[in-house]
Amino acid sequence: MKLQRFEDARQFYDRVKDYLLIHEAMHNVQFALCHALIHNPERFDEKPYLAIVEADGDMVAVVMKTKSRNLLLSKIQDFEAIEAIAHHLHSTQILPPGVNAPTAEAKAFADYWHSFTGQSYQLKMALRAFQLEQVQTNSQANGHLRQATQSDRERLIRWFEAFIIEALDTAPIHTERAVDNHLQRGTAYIWEDTTPVSMACHTGITPNGAGISMVYTPLEYRKKGYASACVAGLSQTLLNQGYKYCFLFTDLANPTSNHIYQAIGYQAMGDLHDYSFVAN
């Protein structure tokens, strides 16, 4: 096993693109992160950890990590790569707070990290990757989709914070900066029914697709089809812009969102686990 680390995000992307494309939906976070590192490096406080593992000259794993974030692992072709990754991270004093990866890869890394460092782990979230090629249903919800504007800023900050607390079960940080980034790029969308009632954001791109996340409806507006309408509308908007696919992740503990997205036309592409490491 040979691990190669990259300092230049563009060089790294050129090297891993074809490997990640084999499972494009499962790797849409890696693609989005590469795009951000290349085109918006000012958003990152320190250099990321970018690496590949090769066996007999063939790539078998892609590894990424940015400051304070979980380790991000691709689909892995040879699980012996996990040992090489763990040892290199430990030797360079890069100690991830957790790992996000396809289910088998995530569990294998968490098990090895536990045996190697003594750190325990716990499953924080079970996720499912979905891909859409064509919107199947037209929403019956009242209202329309529109691009968010600067006048929505304070509302979006509140909704971002609520989404992070509810969906990710973590304290919101840098929400104002995130909202400002979305407003600047024109990637935040609102479903409006006389008043704003739901939101969804275009969160990244792959060579063939566009990611959707930050789907949130305040409690008082739920069970009226607004979230479904918002996601369907944004998905169609992105397809109309020329993207071949739309991607999103769902929390498997939330059967409502899984049902909503499948009704729109999203198809399951695979599952991922997000583990947190616990100091003993």
Check whether residue 208 and residue 235 sit in a common domain: yes
Check whether residue 101 and residue 156 sit in a common domain: no
Output the pLDDT for position 185: 93
Check whether residue 121 and residue 152 sit in a common domain: no
**Among 148, 255, 237, 155, CA closest to 191:** 148
Last residue of a domain, one of 127, 150, 170: 127
Alpha carbon 21 to its chain centroid, in Å, reads 16
Output the pLDDT for position 241: 97
Could you tell me if residue 278 is inside a domain? no
Output the pLDDT for position 192: 98
Check whether residue 225 and residue 172 sit in a common domain: yes
Check whether residue 152 and residue 249 sit in a common domain: yes
Ranges in the chain, pLDDT < 50: none
Q: Which helix (H) or strand (E) holds 7?
A: none
Please list, in sequence order, all residues whose beta carbon lies within 8 angstroms of the beta carbon of residue 38, skipping any fewer than 6 positions away: 9, 10, 13
Check whether residue 118 and residue 142 sit in a common domain: no
| Cα–Cα distance for residue pair 62/209, rounded to 1 Å | 20
Output the pLDDT for position 86: 96
pTM of the model: 0.92
Output the pLDDT for position 68: 80
Check whether residue 151 and residue 260 sit in a common domain: yes
Could you tell me if residue 274 is inside a domain? no
Is the distance from CB of 78 to CB of 60 less than 8 angstroms? yes
Check whether residue 52 and residue 77 sit in a common domain: yes
Last residue of a domain, one of 127, 148, 176: 127
Output the pLDDT for position 67: 86
Output the pLDDT for position 256: 81
Coil, helix or strand for 127?
Answer: strand
CATH number assigned to the domain comprising residue 38 = 3.40.630
Check whether residue 194 and residue 254 sit in a common domain: yes
Check whether residue 172 and residue 197 sit in a common domain: yes
Output the pLDDT for position 85: 97
Check whether residue 140 and residue 260 sit in a common domain: yes
| Cα–Cα distance for residue pair 164/157, rounded to 1 Å | 11
Output the pLDDT for position 210: 96
Domain count, the chain: 2
Output the pLDDT for position 43: 80
Output the pLDDT for position 87: 95
Question: What domain range is 60 assigned to?
Answer: 2-127
Tokens representing residue 113 in the block: 């990290």
Q: Given the structure tokens 């795009």, which residue do they identify?
A: 35
Output the pLDDT for position 117: 93
Check whether residue 83 and residue 176 sit in a common domain: no
Q: Given the structure tokens 């494009």, which residue do they identify?
A: 24
